[in-house]
């Protein structure tokens, strides 16, 4: 939320050094990070409707005509192995309804893809490469700007600085001399274009603040740096896995479930047990499907197939509602349940994060959840675009047009807020050091640059 203001507003706004300093920080943070926030809001808006979009795009792959008898999962997989002899079958998904195809994931040096199979006839309906899935691209842009680890860190930095924008924006928005709710909770429509443009930015920014903060905080657990460290902290503090989930002794291996399967966030760092080699013949995939149903897995569950003799079958359900999540490890020979980890087993933090993620994705409460999240995303776009427009309207011919204020370290309260944010979100702290070095070594030592930034 970047509450940049017009010249008209500046004349009426408080002129305290604290106000000018916070406005200055808010101004530059908005200029730098607003374009990224727009990108996140646009891609997030699209991704909210992933189920509907994919049901339209891949309807011919998904839908089958139900019949009396199904062929076995083993037969389905054997047909795929015959067509793709050089590929490794990595997982199998039975399909959550009678009119839904089965899905088999395969991997080879040339591709990673999903093969859709008619479970009644065994006919291969089609093959869809992971690289060709549109929503995979949207997710990649949203999560890492299609730039791998570097992009992930940039997105995380943007999300963390958005919190700085929210904090500073609320300070600037807070009514001081205004009487009534005009310009505070709703825009002033009849007091001139300048005030209307200012209110078109500031008022929606206030209304979406809570929703924007919620989306940021529920998205951060997915981030590569903060999210990974937060996840480790939760696990190390005993908020992770209770003894009751293990079918035997807890494993001592360092292999984590996220290394072998796509599972809910709360189960990603769950240690993977090992199968006891009791015979040369593993349990069939048909037996594993039956066990999954007997264990009450959500119908959308997926089976990750072991790749070595000591590996396990991993059954994971990552459905619309967090309460239906489940991760089960099965011995690949006996089919014995080695670990059974569900929402009810999650610690308090795990439950909060799991529910936050499904709310973030717009699946927890169906279309209503999607609509509310969409309105927040559209609000973020409106606030960012209106803020940029306000800046263009008030920008001088030379310079950035930022307000001049004292250095942040002269304002103990504001400095304390920055320090806390820098500690809680280390990338913010690192970026603050970079900003300070640029200011000290470059901006304040070159007169023309100093004038341009009004430093």
Instruction: Let me know: does 279 contact 333? Beta carbons within 8 Å.
Output: yes
Alpha carbon distance 324, 342 (integer Å): 8
Question: Of residues 302 and 248, which shows the higher confidence score?
Answer: 302
Q: What is the pLDDT of residue 174?
A: 83
Closest CA relative to residue 119, chosen from 96, 150, 88, 85: 96
Sheet holding 312-317, edge to edge: 124-129, 112-117, 102-107, 88-93, 302-304, 312-317, 326-331, 337-342
Instruction: Note whether 247 and 340 are within 8 A (CB).
Output: yes
First-last CA distance in the chain? 23
pLDDT at 9 over 50: no
Give the residue with greater pLDDT, 180 vs 160: 160
**Virtual torsion, Cα 58, 63, 69, 74, nearest 10 deg:** 10
Cα torsion 29, 30, 31, 32 to 10°: value is 50
d(C-alpha 55, C-alpha 60), whole Å: 9
d(CA 391, CA 375): 24
Q: Is pLDDT above 50 for 10?
A: no
pLDDT of residue 278: 66
pLDDT at position 279: 66
Comparing 203 with 380, which gets the higher pLDDT? 380
Asked if residue 406 has pLDDT above 70, the reply is no
Mean pLDDT of the chain: 88
Q: What is the tens place of the pLDDT at every residue in 58-99?
A: 999 999 999 989 999 999 999 999 999 999 999 999 999 999
Helix, strand and coil percent figures for the chain, each rounded to 5: 55, 10, 35
Choice between 181 and 31, residue whose per-residue pLDDT is larger: 31
User: 119-133, 134-148, 183-197, 263-277: lowest mean pLDDT where?
Assistant: 183-197
Main-chain dihedrals φ then ψ at residue 338, nearest 5 degrees: -95, -30
Structure token pair of residue 346: 């999650």
The answer on pLDDT for 168 being more than 60 is yes
Write the DSSP assignment of 179-230 as a string of letters. -SSBTTTB--SSS-HHHHHHHHHHHHHHHHHHHHHHHHHHHGGGSTTHHHHH
Rg, the chain, Cα only? 27
Residues 372, 378, 380, 386: is their CA dihedral positive or negative? Answer: negative
pTM exceeds 0.85 for this model = yes
Q: State how far the alpha carbon of 158 is from the alpha carbons of 30, 72, 219, in Å.
A: 10, 48, 12
177 Cβ neighbours under 8 A, 6+ residues apart: 12
331 φ/ψ angles, rounded to the nearest 5 degrees: -60, 130
For the residues 434-450, what does the mean pLDDT come to? 87
Q: Phi, psi (5° rounding) for residue 16? A: -65, 155
Within 10 angstroms of residue 181's Cβ, the number of other Cβ atoms is 10
| Whole-angstrom distance, CA of residue 289 vs CA of residue 264 | 19
How much is the pLDDT for 179? 65
Helices (H), ranges, 362-425: 366-394, 412-424
The residues, ordered by sequence, that sit 6+ positions from 172 with a Cβ below 8 Å of its Cβ are 3, 5, 19, 22, 23, 26, 202
Q: How many contiguous H segments (helices) and E segments (strands) does the chain have?
A: 15, 8
Task: Return the closest-CA partner of residue 340 out of 317, 310, 309.
Answer: 317
Nearest to 340 by CA among 246, 264, 253: 246
The pLDDT of residue 12 is: 45
> Using 50, 70 and 90 to split pLDDT, how confident is the model at 6?
very low
Inform me whether the pLDDT recorded for 1 exceeds 70. Answer: no
Beta bridge partners of 313: 330
Q: At what angle do helices 134-144 and 50-57 cross, to 10 degrees?
A: 150
pLDDT bucket at 382, cuts 50 / 70 / 90: very high
In this predicted structure, what is the pLDDT of residue 286? 96
Q: What is the pLDDT of residue 409?
A: 66
| pLDDT at residue 428, as a whole number | 93
According to DSSP, the residues that pair with 115 across neighbouring strands are 104, 127
């Amino acid at each position: 939320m970047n509450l940049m203001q017009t010249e008209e507003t500046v004349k009426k706004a408080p002129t305290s050094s604290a106000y000018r300093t916070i406005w200055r920080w808010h101004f530059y943070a908005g200029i730098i990070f607003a374009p990224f926030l727009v990108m996140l809001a646009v891609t997030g808006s699209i991704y909210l409707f992933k189920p509907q979009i994919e049901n339209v795009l891949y309807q011919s792959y998904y839908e089958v005509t139900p019949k009396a008898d199904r062929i076995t999962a083993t037969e389905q997989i054997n047909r795929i192995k015959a067509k793709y002899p050089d590929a490794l079958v990595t997982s199998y998904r039975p399909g959550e309804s009678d009119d839904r195809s089965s899905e088999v994931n395969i991997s080879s040096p040339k591709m990673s893809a999903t093969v859709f199979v008619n479970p009644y006839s065994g006919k291969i309906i089609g093959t869809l490469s992971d690289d060709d899935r549109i929503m995979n691209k949207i997710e990649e842009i949203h999560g890492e700007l299609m730039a791998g680890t570097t992009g992930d860190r940039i997105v995380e930095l943007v999300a963390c600085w958005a919190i700085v924008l929210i904090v500073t924006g609320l300070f600037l928005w807070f009514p001081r001399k205004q009487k009534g709710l005009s310009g505070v909770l709703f825009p002033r429509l009849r007091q001139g274009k300048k005030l209307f443009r200012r209110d078109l930015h500031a008022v929606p920014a206030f209304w979406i603040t809570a929703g924007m903060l919620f989306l940021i905080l529920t998205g951060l657990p997915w981030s590569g740096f903060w999210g990974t460290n937060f996840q480790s902290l939760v696990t190390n503090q005993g908020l992770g896995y209770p003894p009751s989930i293990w079918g035997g002794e807890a494993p001592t291996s360092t292999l984590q479930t996220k290394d072998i399967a796509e599972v809910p966030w709360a189960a990603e760092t769950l240690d993977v047990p090992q199968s006891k080699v009791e015979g040369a013949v593993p349990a069939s995939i048909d037996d594993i499907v039956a066990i999954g149903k007997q264990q009450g897995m959500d119908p959308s569950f997926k089976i990750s197939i072991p790749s070595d003799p000591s590996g396990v079958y991993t059954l994971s359900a990552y459905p619309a509602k967090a309460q239906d999540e489940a991760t089960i490890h099965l011995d690949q020979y006996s089919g014995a349940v080695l670990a059974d980890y569900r929402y009810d087993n999650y610690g308090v933090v795990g439950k909060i994060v799991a529910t936050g993620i499904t709310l973030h994705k717009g699946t927890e409460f169906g279309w209503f959840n999607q609509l509310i999240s969409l309105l927040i995303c559209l609000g973020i776009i409106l606030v960012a675009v209106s803020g940029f427009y306000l800046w263009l309207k008030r920008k001088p011919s030379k310079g950035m047009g930022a307000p001049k204020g004292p250095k942040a370290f002269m304002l103990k309260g504001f400095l304390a807020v920055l320090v806390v944010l820098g500690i809680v979100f280390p990338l913010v702290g690192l970026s603050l050091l970079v900003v300070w070095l640029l200011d000290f070594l470059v901006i304040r030592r070159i007169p023309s640059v100093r004038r341009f930034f009004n430093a």
